[in-house]
A = this chain, B = another copy of it.
C-alpha cells in the first residue's frame, strides 16, 4: 500500500513529535533505534520531510529533528504525498494504467470506496494525535 519510504517517514515523524520539541531535538540514531529502521535510508527520508517543511531540523552540536506547533497539527497525508505522491489515492486496484469512470475495471465500484477510506485515514489523522497514543502507551512504533 505505502512504500517503505513512506512507512519509515510516518513512523519517524510520529516519534519525533512524541519525543521531541524545540528545546529537545531528536538525533537520527535515536530515531532509527526506536522505530527500527535503517539509519542511512531514514536519514535520506528525513531530508525529504525537511525539504517539504513537514519536520524541522537543526545542524551542528545538539542538533536534530523536531516539530513546531504548526507541523504537529499536519495530517499524515502530507507525509504520503511527499514520499509516494498521489498514486495511492487515484490508481486502479488491479493495475489498469489509469482508473476512470468511463472505462472502469470490474472492481472499480468496490475499490474506489476503499481508496477513499485510505485517504480519509491519513487525511483525518494528525501527527500529534498519533504521537499522543504513544505517550499514553496505546500506540507503538516497533514491536517486541
Interface residues of chain A, those whose CB is within 8 Å of chain B, are 1-2, 4, 7-8, 10-11, 14, 36, 76, 93-98, 100, 103-108, 110-111, 113-114, 117-118, 121, 125, 129-131, 133-134, 138-144
**Are A95 and B143 interface neighbours, CB within 8 A?**
no
For A76, the chain B residues whose CB sits under 8 A away are 107
CB closest residue in chain B, given A95: B7
Copies of this protein chain in the complex: 2
The reply to whether B130 and A121 contact each other, CB–CB distance below 8 Å, is: no
Provide the residues of chain B in CB contact with A14, threshold 8 Å: 106
Q: Are B125 and A2 in contact (CB under 8 A)?
A: no
Contact of A133 among B106, B121, B129, B143 (CB under 8 A): B106
Known: A1-B1, A114-B118, A130-B106. Is A98-B7 also a contact (CB below 8 A)?
no
For the complex, what is the distance from the CA of A139 to the CA of B12, rounded to whole Å? Answer: 41
